[in-house]
Amino acid sequence: MELVKELNKYFDHTLLKPEATEEDIRKLCAEALEYNFYSVCVNGCYVELASKLLEGSDVKVAVVVGFPLGAGATEAKAFETDWACGLGADEVDMVLNVGALKEGRYEDVKEDILSVVTLAEENNAIVKVILETCLLTDEEIIKACELSVEAGAAFVKTSTGFSTGGATAHHVALMRQTVGNQAQVKASGGIRDLETTLKMIESGADRIGASASVAIMEAYRQK
């Protein structure tokens, strides 16, 4: 498997554990600066801190919205988005309404995404839609990708990392095939080593969400 140039720029360096402390976020941001990762991905309460720590750098700040279930009110997701972007979030990783998708309420799913996309775009931010692929059939994944593209999302993303499974090469390839060049694909959840990272990129991932980014980069540098 071939190595990838500038692998560091594939990573959203992620810390979303509920027990994460301010000290942990400071360490996350310091690592992101050291390795020049694409972004850090944090919970909403740490957006302002991360933005201040990364000010003046190329490292962006991503925030999760409706996380990790996606089952909150659309209005709540919209508020979270506007609030977080106002504090410096550059990217919004939102969880779609999985139940609504499985029930075939496609307009509700699309409107849920669109409400976040609209407010993000007003703040010059982009949106990644987390599908939670481990809970979906291939047909549902395809439909979720199509709805995300129709709503104007910049990315579709595999997983929260908090459900029954994470990213798989099969799901990444399916998402890549479905969105084509209309959106990008982010693989996240359970990506802990270099081999898995390269497999996801080979399958079509444009971005990798991982908490093990530093360990992966150290393995990459030894190749």
pLDDT at 131: 98
Whether 187 and 172 have beta carbons less than 8 Å apart is answered as: yes
- Asked if 196 and 187 touch (Cβ cutoff 8 Å), the reply is no
From 1-5, 12-16, 174-178, the region with the lowest mean pLDDT: 1-5
Active site (annotated) includes residue 93:
yes
- Site of tokens 């003046």: 56
Q: Per-residue pLDDT for 223 more than 90? A: no
pLDDT at 4: 86
pLDDT score for 141: 99
Q: What is the end-to-end Cα distance of the chain in Å, rounded?
A: 12
> What is the average per-residue pLDDT within 56-68?
98
Catalytic residue among 93, 110, 143, 199: 93
Active site residue 58: no
Q: How far is CA 211 from CA 34, 102, 217, in A?
A: 15, 29, 12
pLDDT tens digits for 152-211?
A: 999 999 999 999 999 999 999 999 999 999 999 999 999 999 999 999 999 999 999 999
pLDDT at 220: 96
Report the pLDDT averaged over residues 86-100: 98
Q: Are 41 and 60 in contact (CB under 8 A)?
A: no
Is residue 40 within 8 A of residue 213, CB to CB? The reply is no
Q: Which domains does the chain have, with CATH numbers?
A: 8-221 (3.20.20.70)
For residue 91, the model assigns a pLDDT of 99
Mean pLDDT in residue range 42-53 = 98
Strand partners, 94: 65, 129
* Annotation says 52 is catalytic: no
| pLDDT over 80 at 1, yes or no | no
Contacts 24+ apart (CB under 8 A), 161-166: 161/14, 161/16, 161/68, 161/188, 161/189, 161/190, 161/209, 162/16, 162/67, 162/68, 163/68, 163/132, 163/134, 163/135, 163/189, 164/134, 164/135, 165/133, 165/134, 165/189, 165/190, 166/134, 166/190, 166/191
Q: In whole angstroms, how far apart are CA 16 and each of 42, 46, 77, 105, 170?
A: 6, 10, 17, 29, 25
CA 183 to CA 29: how far, in whole Å?
Answer: 27
Q: State pLDDT tens for residues 94-148.
A: 999 999 999 999 999 999 999 999 999 999 999 999 999 999 999 999 999 999 9
pLDDT tens digit sequence for 17-26: 999 999 999 9
- Which residue in 77, 128, 186, 199 is the catalytic one? 186
